[in-house]
Amino acid sequence: MEIATTTAIKEQKRQLVLGHIYHHRHTSRQELGMALPISLPTITQNLNELEDSGLIRRSGFLDSKGGRRAQIYSFTAGARIAIGVEILGGSVALQAYDLYGERIDGRTHMLAYDNSDEYYETVAGHVNEFANCLDADGSRILGVGFAVQGIVSPDGSHLTFGKILGNTGLTLDRLSERIDHPCRLIHDSHASAIAELWISADIKNATCIYLDEHVGCAVISGGRIDEGENLRNGTCEHMTLVIGGRECYCGQRGCLDAYTSRRSLLERSGRGSLSDFFTQAHNGDPDCVRLLDEYLTYLAYAIKNMRTVLSNDIIIGGRIAYLLSDNDFATLREKTAAIASFPDDRFDIIRGACSQGQNIFGAALSYIKPFLDQEIGAYNRR
């Protein structure tokens, strides 16, 4: 017990030292001594060990105020790298991030999806080539997170639902067997929500709606993604809005996705792009104005239904949310308030981060966050 306690204390001190450097990006031994309840000899020992590990480096000296100049120690953001991958019907996108979540590099390959060994071999080749360019010996690569358009099994081994690309049952082993690094599958909406939490760390409880080519949703509870036992929490895209309504890719009718996805909006409007549609709607084109109002009405009813189950704030992200104006958000809030079951219902509808490749970023963060939690402690990182 005494050995375990001593080890735990030693690890805690290491986390405090590294956490301080991570947060401040660079510091000196003397500054650490003033900021932390740790003796200078112990700080020196930890600095030496962390430098040997590659997590910190020496980066010059502080300006002298008389006497010997203090050595500066900086956190090595690129000591570890994580890769996020998005597989769509016509492309494969790869992005790499450092331990601060800063994008290092990215590539997109135009590649038509095919649920075949040849396709997965091609994807593996792209991933390995990309990883090799980032880190020749592979020692810094934490792993590769695949943001997938489907529901992942609780053990992460395969897709239990993949009707968008027709790959239900796809196994992680089949996808990753030729990739030289650890891999995992993650539902693209959950990946986007992970990125949401990274960008806005003060989020505690929220229901996220991502409006893209298809609609995706996720639940944040207590500052964490709440996936549920079967990893299907928050799949509100298949909530029935209209009984017997438009056909959804899931095979049912009247789902939220069939009324609020990019595909449905462009099919209804006849416009070639979302930018064109929203430009016309905001410039007063009668047909586009009508369709946008209808769109916001469907979205308002979906939000009402979601809040009857979870009374969270609502975060709306994705490409469509990026193009919605402040006035559109105000209209959505008015529509939602008008149909609220409880007159005193108070909550916010928030525009999400809406960053390009947010789900890819989140897939990479699925490796970065656990690494940082281990190295600097879950409560020291943010």
Predicted pLDDT at 364: 98
Same structural domain for residues 232 and 346? yes
Neighbours of 63 (CB within 10 A): 6
Query: What is the chain's mean pLDDT, rounded?
Result: 93
Which stretch of DSSP H or E encloses residue 110? strand 103-110
299 near 210, Cβ under 8 Å?
no
Predicted pLDDT at 378: 56
The closest of 201, 239, 198, 227 to 101, measured between CA atoms, is 198
The yes-or-no verdict on residue 319 having pLDDT over 80 is: yes
The closest of 261, 225, 227 to 241, measured between CA atoms, is 261
Same structural domain for residues 37 and 117? no
Predicted pLDDT at 346: 84
Residue 4 binned pLDDT confidence (cut-offs 50, 70, 90)? low
pTM of the model: 0.92
The domain boundary residue, chosen from 18, 44, 75 = 75
Same structural domain for residues 222 and 332? yes
Structural domain for 274, as ranges: 202-351
- Tell me how many degrees the CA angle 222-223-227 measures, rounded to the nearest 5: 80
The per-residue pLDDT for range 127-140, each reduced to its tens digit, is 999 999 998 788 99
Same structural domain for residues 271 and 303? yes
Is residue 197 in a domain? no
The closest of 314, 263, 326, 269 to 292, measured between CA atoms, is 269
Is residue 273 in a domain? yes
Q: Which residues, including other chains, have CB under 8 Å from residue 330's CB and lie 6 or more apart? A: none
The closest of 321, 320, 347, 344 to 333, measured between CA atoms, is 347
Same structural domain for residues 211 and 343? yes
Residue keyed to tokens 């000296």: 61
Predicted pLDDT at 382: 47
Is residue 1 in a domain? no
Same structural domain for residues 257 and 345? yes
Same structural domain for residues 213 and 343? yes
Residue type, 4: A
Residue 66 binned pLDDT confidence (cut-offs 50, 70, 90)? low
Q: How many domains does the chain have?
A: 3
Same structural domain for residues 236 and 290? yes
Any idea what the CATH number is for the domain that residue 313 is in? 3.30.420.40
